[in-house]
Structure 1
Amino acid sequence: MTGDNNLSDKDASIPHSSSTPHFFNRDLSWIDFNERVLEEGLRGDMPPLERFRFLSILSANFDEFFMVRVAAVKRALRSGAGPVSSGETWLGRSPLPDPSGLSPDELLRKIAKKVRSISERQYRCLLFEIFPLLAKGGLELIRPDTYSISHMDYLETFFLGQVYPVLTPLRIEEDGDLPFIGGNNLNAAFLLEKEDDEEDEEHIAVIQLPKRLDRIIWLPAEEDSAEIHGGKWALLDDLVLTWGAYLFPGYRVKETMLFKINRDADFSVDEKRDEDFIEAMEEVIEGRSHSPVIRMTYSADSRRLKEELARRLELEEQDLYETEGPMDLGTLMDLANARGFDSLRLKPWKVYSNAAFSEDESLWDRISQRDVLIRLPYESFDPVVRFFQDAAADPQVISIKTALYRTSGTSAESSAVISPIIRALEQAALKGKHVTAMVELKARFDEERNISWANRLEKAGVIVVYGLARLKVHAKISMVIRREKEGVKRYVHLSTGNYNDKTAKLYEDLGIFTAREDIAMDASVFFNMLTGYSAIQSMRKLVIAPTSLKRRLLELIDREAKRSSQEYPGRIIVKVNALADTDVIEALYGASQAGVKITLVVRGICMLIPGLAGLSENIRVLSIIGHYLEHSRIYYFANGGAEEYYLASADWMPRNLERRVELMFPVLQEDMKTQIRDILNAYTRDTIQARLLESDGSWKRRTPSKGEEPFSVQEHLLSLAAKAGENLWAPRQEFVVRRGDPGKE
């Protein structure tokens, strides 16, 4: 795979000079990450449902990419700006030069070219490999051209009874305003003509497919089968296109087309509206539904409908993406979990209990003794949930404070889907405990849910703080204050991931429980800064963005460079999701030139170019795409032998280091340092899921050397959790006393 990131193979082989670009483009690098996701779906050694899962993730990723990143580039182009910034958004500030030197129009052309190439490979794989393999395994998609008579009878009856009553046809007037067409939603377009109209006048109507209806429609099993369905399934989309004519009596359907649009979602809230901030956020959510259209994906069934809709939506050819198979794969993710087809997917990975905790020991006693490391999702998220539940139930707990960015659940009105952490906070407040929750309303695409949770918590008596002006609170920290014999004691949980029990089963993250007084004091200072009037204060152990984290990182990198020597070269190992801050990258380049050996494990975006002679020849960049989503942030500095380990909520991007409230926290306990060291070493050893970034922008999959055993970091971490879990449940050893037979002398 070759990247398209401004450097040719020839450029990569020459020494670095001031005129040589030495940053990859942020957006093209992100697309390259999705190409790595695609390659997991292309793997012939993977079961077909696992492959389908990766292709579904890819489609969902691109939807958000166009709604946010491409929307921002288009806005920069309309404004007449020069090369666009690599920051998160350009709304409300002047565009900054893109370090890779691309102008908005150049970038949009490259984006379109790369996305089309990836989509073509995605659908070739889906149609000619995955679907045939699924059908062979008994999970078969039935399309209209293969409906049998029994299929037709069942599906038409299903459509008329379950689908038809819900649908709303919208006519598109030639000279009138375009009716509302929601973003990120499938729509069916119909080209109609009156049955008795001799002039053949054409009319267009659109039907939005309701999101509440399942797209997967299971066909009944054969009469002699004990199964509810036999593994055959149809698409709601096909039913609407096939029998949609029922909604247009007196008209003949000439052509049909399925389409979906992505609207601009790169909105910022008016930060000056303090008194009605929730209302301001609701206006942002509402604004997204009527914002400019960025992209249209469509089925290749009607050129006439495609051209007319593109014209009315003011889209250029570059904004149109034809799809040859089922659209919107992200909403078909449930297929990967279809019951009864375990042979078509990998055996589920077991989640193990953390050996540090037991049901018969107080959580507070355990944390008081030693810090505890939680390794998600190899170990259960239950101790985190228990942290809140025990705090809610314990009469000695007097206060709980937490910062919530994203949590689970879909509705604050239904107790069946409420987050267990939200429920615990609510119960604690109802019992009279002093509960404070910093709920970040600006968490993109989770704003509506967070507003709902915030309202529910307030009704229970929780003190809710709605974030900070001009900053997103992305830190993951909670504190429980408990009255004990010795006085008030604070227990702190710090994490690299969100307080979300659902994603905790899929995202790799690290968290620490501690009762250390210095960290607890810092936690108190942190929450006081979030909720009250407080000048920025220095902390003893925690490092906070945007005030000091970036400066501290630059100091740590610079210190490593200064302590590096030919005899004892410095060492930096960093694991992040994205690396896009040019100041940090320049510092890493400087450390490399000073002889520091640097390994970067970057899941997604990486603007740093490794392997450039005279600049970054000591830097190696790896990316891991595997069974779980890599999400933890780990920083290691050799520090002349006095090694330092840090965990953090922050990636190395401008938005994290300059426009968000983030936390970096040290790993202080020696046995925990050993665990983190082993984890980092395992990432650098991976020869199955790892890819190595070349200086030309391509990613090369690592393979075992001759005679070397294949090694997967994720399987290794799973085995470590399994061993710890086995030790937890192993029977206790007892002394066995040998006794003689009393019948013998």
Structure 2
Amino acid sequence: MPSTKATDKNIDLDDSQYYFNRELSWLEFNRRVLHEALDERTPLLERLKFMAIFSSNLDEFFMVRVAGLMQQVKAGVTKLSIDGQTPSEQLAAIGDRLRPMIQEQHQHCEQVLRKKLIDQGIHILDYVDLNQEQRTYLNQFFEEHIFPVLTPLAVDPSHPFPYISNLSLNLAVVVKDPDLDEELFARVKIPRALSRFIPLPKELRQRHKGKVGIWTGIPIEQLITHNLEYLFPGMNIQECYVFRVTRNASLSVEEDEADDLLLAIEQELQKRRMGGSAVRLEIQSSVPEPIRSTIIRELALEDNDVYDIDGLLGLGNLMSFLALPLPELKDRSWSPIVPPKLHRLQDLQEGEDGDDFFRIIRNGDLLLHHPYYSFSASVQRLITEAANDPDVLAIKMTLYRTSGDSPIIKALIAAAQNHKQVAVLVELKARFDEENNINWARKLENAGVHVVYGLVGLKTHTKITLIVRQEENKIRRYVHIGTGNYNPKTAKLYTDLGLISCQEDLGADLTDLFNFLTGYSRQKSYRKLLVAPVNMRDRMTAMIHREMEHAQNGGKGRIVVKINSLVDKPIIATLYKASQAGVEIDLIVRGICCLRPGVAGISENIRVISVIGRFLEHSRVFYFHNSGSEEVYIGSADWMTRNLSRRVEAITPIEDPGLTADLHEILGIMLADNRQAWELQPDGSYVQRKPPKDSQAQSTHNILMDLVAGN
């Protein structure tokens, strides 16, 4: 850990020792996710959920981040990371950090969680544990429902090693031909269309405490393994092992060369489905060396790319057990509340007296905090009302991610059919949502909506809506500026903030911003919005410097920021300077944090916490004390180089005193959390806070649910 005397005036803030590695910091975030699965305070089925999230997170990490590093190594790139590591050094460090975590995950799942599930009447059995009656039923089920779907692929001189699709579960099978006395190799892919865990009927379930258990079944790969004779009749089954492959899933689109971005993205998606190069092999640790070597060689991998697993592979499928009707084994149920200002709309049917919603907004700004406040009763209803309101002339919005059956898409189509001017920017490069966005873009275009696909070289990440309405003898503009996607499904799981307003300056700013997104505008200044890549970085930096000046002049310097990730080196260096000037800084960073807090002479005035719990912290809040004239902002941008320099983002000030007080309360609750909060240490580790002895835990999510429900 670096140590610097506070009196040292010649500190080089470019020195790599003052920064954490981005990839290793992300792994520490995922470690905190895993801890929720290990924590006995977490309800049992929620522990399975966190096991699944940990695995799914790793899948994406390998498909994107590890794949990118491997490409850099192959291309001979030697550029150092923020902490001074080469791509190959980072890959080695990732493996060293990750292997013990994966071992801990699988060991806990096999030795702890499966036993605890049995205690609750949930039996995830191995095939060898089944009685004869259970085996008979499952073998018949295999013959009728699974066998017809399977396709064994031989591997020999006339059958090359088959393509192994991304994230697929596979069996490596060794059979012996009794006529030729020769061992042969084959691969069986387990189709994703089939359920991963095969349940037994109620009458064949294991008994629990004298009663029939809740669920009994086995993993599908074990059922297939014990019925391989159906796939290889006349052969002697010698060995069978499970393995799983992760491939590079990044898109590479040369936008300057793409006359039709929609077509270019579609072509790249086809390549992704065909699959990029393999980046990880997960395999049963008991697999013999000859089979292991064969698979590694055929996938063009190295030993360092292989992860040996004791237990079930692909634990992301554990998420399916959350569907079991066992509320006592889950988090307490939560239904988002209708914001108090909108209560009187409850008795109205959608589309009836749409003016009422707009009248409410004319009487004052509305701050929304999802999932505590209902997305469908607020943002979704606003857009639906606008689509059917005869006085609404135009609706403009950005769509980064949305659900497959989005009511908002339907509302936009209805608006176009109602002869309103509807313009939507659909970000085709939203990672892993590209195909969904292409489908909706086509439906919107077919309905007469003006669809644009963003700017060359910039990803449009901002979450904004502009509604233009004719009212008496004037045009009034209503806006929604948020931190999260227009997705009613994730709005129940992610914490996000949004502002609905009819402030003239915000309406004018969004008009300018949409002209920038859809036309040839080169707008360089905005009235109130902080817009990336135009003015956001400069304004953020200036506000940090302003706090420094206040502290240096004997006043109070105070910054509180809540974001998902902190990676941008210039911002971090500016925060270090602010700390050196005496500014007190609290950072609530859910995921990656490359800033090293608590270093003498550098960052002793900076504290960093991460809050991990039942909801995914996704909102961004920026607070600056400003010598008592406080400024508070919310918006879509993290403090990452991509957000500040390579994406279109928007952050809005919150100026209503009542709403700023609400944001103060939210930040205060999170800073006081001693149940879900983790404190980042100067060495890069995180320590989870614990409530004082004999006192009640202060859980951010529980407190906020209670506060909203009390309204």
TM over 0.5, yes or no? yes
**287, 291, 314: which one aligns with 2:300:** 314
Residues 1:106 and 2:89 are matched in the alignment: yes
Cα deviation 1:675-716 (Å, max 9, x = unaligned): 011111111111111111110111111123467653122111
Residues 1:390 and 2:385 are matched in the alignment: yes
- Counterpart of 2:357 in structure 1 is 363
* Superposed displacement of residue 566, structure 1: 7.2
1:286-685 superposed matches below 5 A: 286-288=270-272, 289-303=274-288, 304-339=290-325, 341-357=326-342, 358-359=344-345, 360=348, 362-382=356-376, 383-409=378-404, 418-565=405-552, 567-685=554-672
C-alpha distance in structure 2 between counterparts of 1:637 and 1:522, whole Å: 22
Task: Write the letter of the residue equivalent to 2:669.
Answer: A
Contact 2:51 2:318 in 1 (8 A): no
**256, 261, 283: which one aligns with 2:267:** 283
- Counterpart of 1:413 in structure 2 is none
The 3 A distance-change label for structure 1 pair 614 and 13 is closer
* Superposed displacement of residue 580, structure 1: 0.2
Name structure 2 gaps, 5 residues minimum. none
SS of structure 1 residue aligned to 2:520: coil
Q: Which stretch shifts more, 562-571 or 115-124?
A: 562-571
Contact 1:74 1:104 in 2 (8 A): yes
Contact 1:572 1:597 in 2 (8 A): yes
Contact 1:220 1:228 in 2 (8 A): no
Task: Write the letter of the residue equivalent to 1:319.
Answer: D
C-alpha distance in structure 1 between counterparts of 2:229 and 2:588, whole Å: 54
* Superposed displacement of residue 45, structure 1: 2.2
Residues 1:157 and 2:144 are matched in the alignment: no
SS of structure 1 residue aligned to 2:538: helix
The 3 A distance-change label for structure 1 pair 595 and 297 is same
Q: Which stretch shifts more, 352-361 or 227-236?
A: 227-236
C-alpha distance in structure 2 between counterparts of 1:266 and 1:550, whole Å: 27
Residues 1:127 and 2:104 are matched in the alignment: no
The 3 A distance-change label for structure 1 pair 272 and 178 is farther
Contact 1:222 1:230 in 2 (8 A): no
Residues 1:266 and 2:240 are matched in the alignment: no
**62, 71, 78: which one aligns with 2:74:** 78
Q: TM-score, normalised by structure 2?
A: 0.94
Task: Write the letter of the residue equivalent to 2:312.
Answer: P
Residues 1:219 and 2:204 are matched in the alignment: no
SS of structure 2 residue aligned to 1:451: helix
* Superposed displacement of residue 460, structure 1: 0.9
SS of structure 2 residue aligned to 1:437: strand
C-alpha distance in structure 1 between counterparts of 2:132 and 2:696, whole Å: 54
Q: Tell me the C-alpha RMSD between the 2 structures.
A: 1.9
Cα deviation 1:433-457 (Å, max 9, x = unaligned): 2111100000011101110110111
* Superposed displacement of residue 344, structure 1: 2.1
Contact 2:48 2:318 in 1 (8 A): no
The 3 A distance-change label for structure 1 pair 556 and 177 is farther
- Counterpart of 1:738 in structure 2 is none
* Superposed displacement of residue 249, structure 1: 2.1
C-alpha distance in structure 1 between counterparts of 2:50 and 2:128, whole Å: 27
Task: Write the letter of the residue equivalent to 2:314.
Answer: D
* Superposed displacement of residue 195, structure 1: 2.8
Cα deviation 1:310-338 (Å, max 9, x = unaligned): 11111111101112122111133111221
Contact 1:374 1:511 in 2 (8 A): yes
Contact 2:33 2:612 in 1 (8 A): yes
SS of structure 2 residue aligned to 1:272: helix
C-alpha distance in structure 1 between counterparts of 2:580 and 2:696, whole Å: 33
- Counterpart of 1:31 in structure 2 is 27
Contact 1:189 1:205 in 2 (8 A): yes
C-alpha distance in structure 1 between counterparts of 2:554 and 2:311, whole Å: 59
- Counterpart of 1:193 in structure 2 is 176
* Superposed displacement of residue 431, structure 1: 2.1
C-alpha distance in structure 2 between counterparts of 1:595 and 1:245, whole Å: 73
C-alpha distance in structure 2 between counterparts of 1:444 and 1:264, whole Å: 13
Cα deviation 1:327-363 (Å, max 9, x = unaligned): 1111331112212x22322222332111110325711
C-alpha distance in structure 1 between counterparts of 2:511 and 2:650, whole Å: 13
SS of structure 2 residue aligned to 1:232: strand
Task: Write the letter of the residue equivalent to 2:390.
Answer: P
Task: Write the letter of the residue equivalent to 1:405.
Answer: Y
Q: Which stretch shifts more, 670-679 or 261-270?
A: 261-270
C-alpha distance in structure 1 between counterparts of 2:395 and 2:153, whole Å: 51
C-alpha distance in structure 1 between counterparts of 2:64 and 2:190, whole Å: 24
C-alpha distance in structure 1 between counterparts of 2:591 and 2:5, whole Å: 26
* Superposed displacement of residue 251, structure 1: 2.1
* Superposed displacement of residue 403, structure 1: 0.1
C-alpha distance in structure 2 between counterparts of 1:260 and 1:547, whole Å: 44
Task: Write the letter of the residue equivalent to 1:212.
Answer: A
**Identical residues among aligned pairs (%):** 40
Contact 2:16 2:83 in 1 (8 A): no
C-alpha distance in structure 2 between counterparts of 1:298 and 1:163, whole Å: 23
* Superposed displacement of residue 72, structure 1: 1.0
* Superposed displacement of residue 167, structure 1: 1.5
- Counterpart of 2:689 in structure 1 is 702
The 3 A distance-change label for structure 1 pair 236 and 393 is same
C-alpha distance in structure 1 between counterparts of 2:533 and 2:577, whole Å: 23
The 3 A distance-change label for structure 1 pair 229 and 280 is farther
Contact 2:16 2:84 in 1 (8 A): no
Cα deviation 1:394-423 (Å, max 9, x = unaligned): 1221211110000011xxxxxxxx211111
C-alpha distance in structure 2 between counterparts of 1:210 and 1:481, whole Å: 49
C-alpha distance in structure 2 between counterparts of 1:711 and 1:12, whole Å: 33
* Superposed displacement of residue 551, structure 1: 1.3
Contact 2:482 2:497 in 1 (8 A): yes
Contact 2:512 2:523 in 1 (8 A): no
- Counterpart of 1:686 in structure 2 is 673
C-alpha distance in structure 2 between counterparts of 1:174 and 1:584, whole Å: 58
SS of structure 2 residue aligned to 1:193: strand
Q: Which stretch shifts more, 660-669 or 252-261?
A: 252-261
Contact 2:134 2:204 in 1 (8 A): no
Q: TM-score, normalised by structure 1?
A: 0.90
* Superposed displacement of residue 538, structure 1: 1.1
- Counterpart of 1:412 in structure 2 is none
1:14-53 superposed matches below 5 A: 17-18=11-12, 21-53=17-49
Contact 1:603 1:630 in 2 (8 A): yes
C-alpha distance in structure 1 between counterparts of 2:550 and 2:5, whole Å: 28
SS of structure 2 residue aligned to 1:688: coil
C-alpha distance in structure 2 between counterparts of 1:675 and 1:482, whole Å: 29
* Superposed displacement of residue 717, structure 1: 1.0
**40, 48, 52: which one aligns with 1:56:** 52
* Superposed displacement of residue 374, structure 1: 0.8
